[in-house]
Structure 1
Amino acid sequence: MTRTEYAEHAEFETTRRLLACLINEGLVEFVLQRLDSSKQRVLCLRALSHNSDLSTSSQLVVGLNSNSLVDENGKVCCPIAPEQLELPVKLENRKGDTVYETNPSKILEKIHEWIPESIPNIPLLETTKQMLQNSAENQEKWLQFHHQQKPCDLNSSAIEWERTIIFGHPEHPLHRCLYPESPSLTGAGNLITPELSFISIPDEQLETTGPFTPRLQPLLEKLGLSQSLPGQTIIPCFTSNLPLVLSRLPRATLVQSFQGIADGQASARSVSIKPQFDYNHHLKMSLPFQITGAIRNVKPWQAYQATYMTELVERLAHPDLWVNRETATITGVNMDVQAARTVCCILREDLEPRALAEDQSLIIAAALYHRPAGGAKTYAETLFGLESQEDKCSWLQKYMGLLFQLVIPLLGRGIVLETHSQNVLVRVDRRSKSLAGFAIRDMNGVKIHVPTLQEQGITVDERLAQISETRAASLEALWKRAHRTLIQNHAGFLLRSLGLDNSQGWSILRGELEKVLFSDACPMGSELRQFFWGRNMGYPCFLGAILRGKPLELEIMQYPNILMR
């Protein structure tokens, strides 16, 4: 692609994630330095001592944000967040020559000899470089799009807020990667307004949960597709997925393709149907491209659990937590898993009409720590008028306090919601411009501890209980997931964006968390407090998994608990 004015920024977004992973996963040594005649601080990355003679590059130097925490011994507090790293990035060789570089693929090529134990073979190295390059190039396209958009406000639609999430995953080096599952796929196309296709498949090859066809029928009628052949069902898919659908399901036939009927959400595989079609569900479909560590297919077990988890969460959650209900699903059956997942689709209820009826805006939580193009303030600051440190602290207390009230008690009941900031929607009252509440989406992210549910007299579907991806081996496994998604991800990135990643900010969180844990509404509050106040917590090693060619088999590094800062 032609290099644009956004190329360096895009490359560095991927590079800073790559470098943060190298540091956090213990793959390199690093020291903190202050530049002469300057207050600027830099990190110097080098090969571990036993690999120091293996590379022509002696060190890599990258800037460090002035707000980054440093302990009493002058060491940077880990894990490092990617946004704490700053340009420039310099590579120095053993001759003393310096090269400035932002391209993540080229950086990995220069320093891969520092980490020989982490790279089993050269083909895996080459694939990783290609995926890093792919991520940076897609990030460049997103930056171009971002600078063409007007800033959002409380009158903006939910899908407009989805489009403010331009950087993808905040930590993963493949944050904007779109790497095809198969060489037969030419590209994912435009995921901002993706083209959709409708295919007809024999009923005996499909399994549904919930009233899938009746719920899809209003959209089919608006598109002029209401007539289906006897014994056949029409289902939607991404047009970019058609080559795999038609090759893996020979009896499937293309009915019609449409451009301009849907808008892509932040998750890429979910779309909102454009307002003129007056359709009250979103579509979640298989996208056969790798984003971060996974091919973004919807798997048969995910389709099966969606409606069950919706009912379970609605039954046990606080009534003030809106649930983005997944009402019907379809998946392949009587075929191999690869073919079955190609045609999976989940229908998710659109909550925006409900929000508008109460004069509320529905905003994806991750948008709050993003900024409009050229803006100096985050959306959280502009929407809620956060001018002073006191304003930010007061708002943070209300925000996290309410979120904790709604999701923490479920942990004591054997359920964890995946509450990272892409799955949580913030409800804002348009009249008072104040926080009204939250909604949760993505029932595939819900995990359960079957024995704890059964102790409460809750019958767990036998088939669901056998799905290893759904059930947790222990309550602590559930709680670790909550710490990862709610504390490390959601709260951590919000605090850093507000400049509150310090003892003051985390003290506020601890105070609000304790209020919930010691309330009558929270089962197992004492046990949960003991867990959340633990000295160390696990952090996932994304890069090591990628380099091993097993991106979903994450090793865990133990670091001091961020909540206790």
Structure 2
Amino acid sequence: MSHSATRLSALHPGDRAVFASTARLISCLVTESLLRGLYLPIRGFEATGICVLLTSQVSSEVPQRAYDAKDILAVVPLRHVPLFRHDGTDDRGKDISLLDPLDMMPLVFEVYPDGIESVEIEHVDLSTAITRTLSGPGWQISPSTTLLPSKSPVSIWEKFGSSIGLDDTLLKEISDEFSSSVKWQQYSYEHPPKAPLFTSPSIDWEQSIVEGHPTHPMHKTRYFLPPLPDFAPGSFDLYHPKLRLIAVPRENLKITYDFETYTLPLIAAMSKNAGRSVAIREGYVAIPVHELQVAHIQDKFQEAEVYPEEFGLSLLAQQSIRSVLAPDAYHELSLKLGVGVKLTSAVRTISPASAYLGPRFSKQVVPVLAMDPKIVMVAKELASVVHAHPDGEIAKHCAAIIREAHENTSEERGERLIVCTALVESGHSGESGDVPAVVRVFELDTEEKRIQWLSKFSRMLFEAFLPSVLHNGVAFECHPQNCLARFDIVTKELRGFIIRDFGGLRVHPETLKATTGVELDFLAGHSIIADDLDDVYTRMYHTVFHNHLQQLIRVLGLHYNGRGWEVVRQHLNDLIPKDHGLYNAWLSPERKTLPSKCFLRMRMSGMYRFHLHSPFPNLINYRGVDDAEA
């Protein structure tokens, strides 16, 4: 394999974008146990081995007959040895339990059992070596079999979806989302943000994302729901939108706390911009909305009055797009706005349940939780509004939340705030932009420096978010987009974290009441409610280990040697009492797997608020690649 084919940065942005989405799709197919992936070692190439992705027809069991080319959906050369199932029984290859995009070479082969005429074969040496590897016992590959590089995740997705009998409409919807993801990812590669510096303000870090979620199959999907037009990448600046104003009769709204008082600075700034006062009719409530949402408001809420564009305000969008800063009006506050745009697999509106819960949880629950305020600051939601339409799927399009904005005051406290997602990003423009930000900014140029940095970071992460789980039965969704790391602005030492967004909380109400005396005030059927404490532990495991720490440990080069996970285990053993249920749930040697969130299964089931889980390998007990496996 040529050197240029082994480095992502050397690929054309279009090819690189195709691989980014295809790798995430294959990762989900294998890790969520939708398809079986078998690992076979391969010699003489940069790849350590290959993942043979079997079709759905043979993935549900280990057949006695030999596998042939029709049983193979795709073949992926692997740069590193993945995690294997502890109970794998197929002697034709090791069953893979977790396949991460970073395990893969930037190349995916689709398999054509009957060959293809008049096609120039790429990567001849490698494809020949792969077919030779697949000639051992248990394999029966015809000499006519051809391996060709995959040109789109849609091809693999549609072969899989059709094979399991997925509804044609859903199959097409998800195909379109993959196409969107590739399109927007290509634009991101072609127009990379500048490499942020430690001295860069917090908003620059929020807007420095090149790829985003490391394993979500639709990680870059941007789907604008009708009546919005389908904006092409670059035609609308999602990071610098405008704030618009509407007014709705008070009787048509559900308002939590003093929403109107919090919006007064916005209205004043809008009036100043327009050179005339905002006139609000008696009995109406002014609501700030994202400019993209005006079309949805006019389409769904006939009683709403939309103020002219001259009353608009400039916004700075954070990573989530719908959470925005309004620097002309707010210093200590920010807005979370409902936006009818699908990012990844969720429409970024605000449900009535979330609008109801957030301010109440902030006021009633946050102050009594077992959390060290010196280490973790909670971005409280202070007030909200949502339409009273009886159909929540419509009501969610007219909603807003006022939230604390600690990042705006961080420099006054001598802190630099960095959204944790940005720490693992690379591919930026500028000097050393191809180096992960955490390595570049903190000068982690040796393994020992990286271990020390990880040790401090993971220890403080646990000290921030484990106490509420251990004592109160409350797990924050502290994945890296919801967490901001607080660093000393002079020494760069980690001081703690800020946690924001309550939509992915997991709360066991009985434990919360028993330990704090507070009865959780929520709307019936809310997705945050846990039936038992194991449910709380499951949410925490996925967000902290599978999502947050796994990617960080991998980019620090501390995954395959097991040293990063050794650091994690040491701190967990220090902080979790051995007689607590959480110790057995996570640290018991018998816990080979843990239930974790399945993005692709959820999308196929039309779910995003409620989670589907499948057994994933327990990364906490991972000890690195055995030399015999490599």
1:98 aligns with 2:147: yes
The alignment yields a C-alpha RMSD, in angstroms, of 2.6
Amino acid at match of 2:76: V
| Cα displacement (A) at 1:255 | 0.4
1:27 aligns with 2:34: yes
Question: Quick one: distance in 2 between partners of 1:5 and 1:496?
Answer: 24
1:515 is matched with which residue: 568, 574, 578? 574
Q: Is the CA contact 2:51–2:76 (under 8 Å) kept in the aligned structure 1?
A: yes
1:481 aligns with 2:542: no
Amino acid at match of 1:528: L
Question: Quick one: distance in 2 between partners of 1:333 and 1:135?
Answer: 34
Amino acid at match of 1:177: T
Q: Is the CA contact 1:218–1:279 (under 8 Å) kept in the aligned structure 2?
A: no
Q: Is the CA contact 1:199–1:235 (under 8 Å) kept in the aligned structure 2?
A: yes
Q: Is the CA contact 1:193–1:260 (under 8 Å) kept in the aligned structure 2?
A: no
Map 1:186-265 onto structure 2 (within 5 A): 186-187=229-230, 189-224=236-271, 226-257=278-309, 261-265=314-318
Question: Quick one: distance in 2 between partners of 1:314 and 1:202?
Answer: 34
SS class of match (1:242): helix
> For the pair shown, which has the larger CA radius of gyration, 1 or 2?
2
Moved more, 395-404 or 224-233: 224-233
1:468 is matched with which residue: 526, 548, 554? 526
Question: Quick one: distance in 2 between partners of 1:400 and 1:449?
Answer: 25
Amino acid at match of 1:245: I
Question: Quick one: distance in 1 between partners of 2:508 and 2:315?
Answer: 37
Residue 386 of structure 1 is matched in structure 2 by 444
Question: Quick one: distance in 2 between partners of 1:313 and 1:151?
Answer: 35
Residue 319 of structure 1 is matched in structure 2 by 373
Residue 46 of structure 1 is matched in structure 2 by 54
| Cα displacement (A) at 1:366 | 1.1
Question: Quick one: distance in 2 between partners of 1:215 and 1:380?
Answer: 36
Moved more, 279-288 or 125-134: 279-288
1:138 is matched with which residue: 155, 180, 184? 184
Question: Quick one: distance in 1 between partners of 2:612 and 2:382?
Answer: 35
Question: Quick one: distance in 2 between partners of 1:277 and 1:450?
Answer: 37
Q: Structure 1, unaligned stretches of length 5 or more?
A: 519-523
Q: Structure 2, unaligned stretches of length 5 or more?
A: 1-10, 115-144, 272-276, 623-630
SS class of match (1:342): coil
| Cα displacement (A) at 1:428 | 0.9
Amino acid at match of 1:143: Y
1:541 aligns with 2:598: yes
1:283 is matched with which residue: 335, 338, 354? 335
Q: Deviations over 1:516-556 (max 9, x none)?
A: 224xxxxx962221111241201233223333445666542
1:266 aligns with 2:319: yes
Q: Is the CA contact 2:36–2:95 (under 8 Å) kept in the aligned structure 1?
A: no
SS class of match (2:522): helix
**Aligned pair in 2 of structure 1 residues 11, 508: CA closer, same or farther (>3 Å)?**
same
**Aligned pair in 2 of structure 1 residues 190, 473: CA closer, same or farther (>3 Å)?**
same
**Aligned pair in 2 of structure 1 residues 558, 423: CA closer, same or farther (>3 Å)?**
same
Amino acid at match of 1:531: A
SS class of match (2:45): coil
Amino acid at match of 1:513: L
2:75 is matched with which residue: 46, 61, 80? 61
Amino acid at match of 1:132: F
Q: Is the CA contact 2:315–2:325 (under 8 Å) kept in the aligned structure 1?
A: yes
Amino acid at match of 2:453: W
Question: Quick one: distance in 1 between partners of 2:373 and 2:282?
Answer: 42
Q: Is the CA contact 1:465–1:471 (under 8 Å) kept in the aligned structure 2?
A: no
**Aligned pair in 2 of structure 1 residues 310, 339: CA closer, same or farther (>3 Å)?**
same
Q: TM-score, normalised by structure 1?
A: 0.90
**Aligned pair in 2 of structure 1 residues 27, 306: CA closer, same or farther (>3 Å)?**
closer
Map 1:154-193 onto structure 2 (within 5 A): 154-181=198-225, 183-187=226-230, 189-193=236-240
Q: Deviations over 1:296-335 (max 9, x none)?
A: 2101110111112223223322112111121111111254
Question: Quick one: distance in 2 between partners of 1:432 and 1:560?
Answer: 37
1:564 is matched with which residue: 621, 624, 627? 621
Amino acid at match of 1:94: P
Q: TM-score, normalised by structure 2?
A: 0.81
Q: Is the CA contact 1:164–1:372 (under 8 Å) kept in the aligned structure 2?
A: no
1:506 is matched with which residue: 565, 572, 576? 565
Question: Quick one: distance in 1 between partners of 2:173 and 2:313?
Answer: 33
2:403 is matched with which residue: 340, 343, 348? 348
1:373 is matched with which residue: 421, 428, 453? 428
Q: Is the CA contact 2:411–2:489 (under 8 Å) kept in the aligned structure 1?
A: no
| Cα displacement (A) at 1:411 | 0.6
Q: Is the CA contact 1:199–1:253 (under 8 Å) kept in the aligned structure 2?
A: yes
Percent of pairs identical after alignment?
A: 26
| Cα displacement (A) at 1:455 | 1.3
Residue 169 of structure 2 is matched in structure 1 by 123
Q: Is the CA contact 1:57–1:94 (under 8 Å) kept in the aligned structure 2?
A: no
Question: Quick one: distance in 2 between partners of 1:304 and 1:145?
Answer: 39
| Cα displacement (A) at 1:514 | 1.9
